[in-house]
């Protein structure tokens, strides 16, 4: 039985009078996959930013393998060590990559920063193979790659530091459906090969169904339902979760009825 790799306890984050994250708690086991789902403004991305360290919580704590991440990291070595614990893959890979830097240089830069004594050439080849690109993509610039290939580069860069947790913030939302499936299959393969834990931030229940073991449903900064993904999607207990499921377009779908139901919640 694998232990807990990530734990969030009582996270709070406010912006003025708005409570973006309100008493959010969850755990992620080593090698597990947890989805946080909700519409825009639900607080899911703010939660992800707190986990990564891009935002600080007003209250609560994030722990990775039992070590707190909430306080300041003192010294360069500790800052780098903390960065290696949790990495993030964003929705738009083109914006997260330097358009003037080739793929191999992107990966080498990350490796030099975190592992200066490593055989960087060998590790770059391993990473490219791991994400299904191969060495032919090593000299390419981001503009020479498709959206799916750019996202593979972003994933390779995140994996380069050997993180315990990979946070994926709408990481396939900007891709075509067929490419989404390829990236999700890639992530599933990587999870089988390693002990990395995934935290998926998404509004897409299809993604949640395919790639997560457990799910949190957020609304207005709070968790309204949580449990095993299969159980929550098969028999949702909260009206908002049921509304999200009903909002997925299908034959006979009535957007006006869905909008009225959302206003009534």
pLDDT in tens, the chain (265 residues): 578 999 999 999 998 878 899 999 999 999 999 999 998 899 999 999 999 998 999 999 999 999 888 766 677 888 888 889 999 998 887 787 888 999 999 999 999 999 999 999 999 999 999 999 988 899 999 999 999 999 999 999 999 999 999 999 998 888 888 899 999 999 999 999 888 999 999 988 888 988 999 999 999 999 999 999 999 999 999 999 998 888 765 544 444 554 555 456 6
- Single out the residue of 208, 202, 145, 139 nearest to residue 171, CA to CA: 202
Q: Where are the domains of the chain?
A: 4-234, 235-265
- Single out the residue of 195, 184, 178, 135 nearest to residue 155, CA to CA: 184
What pLDDT sits at residue 250?
52
What order do you get walking across the sheet with 59-64 strand by strand?
18-29, 4-15, 59-64, 67-68
How long a stretch of residues is the chain?
265
What pLDDT sits at residue 248?
67
Q: What is the pLDDT of residues 4-26, one digit of tens each?
A: 999 999 999 998 878 899 999 99
67: exposed, middle or buried (Cβ count in 10 Å: 0-12, 13-18, 19+): exposed
Q: What is the pLDDT of residues 162-178, one digit of tens each?
A: 999 999 999 888 888 88
Q: Does 3.10.20.740 match the CATH number of domain 4-234?
A: no
Q: From CA 23, how far away is CA 1, in angstroms rounded?
A: 28
What pLDDT sits at residue 251?
47
What pLDDT sits at residue 71?
66
């Amino acid at each position: 039985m694998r232990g807990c790799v990530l734990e969030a306890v009582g996270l709070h984050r406010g912006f003025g009078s708005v409570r973006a994250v309100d008493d959010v708690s969850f755990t992620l086991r080593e090698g597990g996959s947890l989805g946080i789902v909700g519409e825009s403004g639900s607080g899911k991305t703010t939660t992800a930013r707190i986990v990564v360290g891009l935002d600080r919580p007003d209250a609560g704590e994030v722990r990775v393998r039992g070590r707190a991440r909430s306080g300041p990291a003192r010294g360069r070595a500790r800052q780098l060590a903390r960065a290696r614990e949790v990495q993030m893959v964003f929705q738009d890979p083109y914006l997260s990559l330097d358009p003037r830097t080739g793929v191999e240089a992107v990966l080498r830069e990350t490796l030099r920063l975190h592992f200066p004594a490593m055989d960087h050439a060998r590790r770059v080849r391993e990473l490219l193979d791991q994400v299904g690109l191969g060495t032919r993509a090593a000299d390419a610039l981001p503009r020479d790659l498709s959206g799916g290939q750019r996202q593979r580069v972003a994933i390779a860069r995140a994996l380069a530091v050997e993180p315990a947790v990979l946070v994926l913030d709408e990481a396939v939302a900007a891709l075509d459906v067929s490419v989404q499936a390829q990236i999700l299959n890639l992530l599933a393969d990587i999870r089988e090969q390693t002990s990395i834990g995934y935290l998926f931030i998404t509004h897409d229940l299809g993604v949640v169904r395919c790639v997560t073991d457990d799910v949190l449903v957020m609304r207005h900064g709070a968790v309204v339902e949580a449990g095993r993904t299969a159980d929550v999607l098969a028999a949702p207990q909260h009206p908002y979760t049921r509304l999200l499921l009903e909002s997925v377009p299908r034959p006979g779908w009535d957007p006006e009825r869905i909008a009225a139901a959302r206003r009534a919640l």
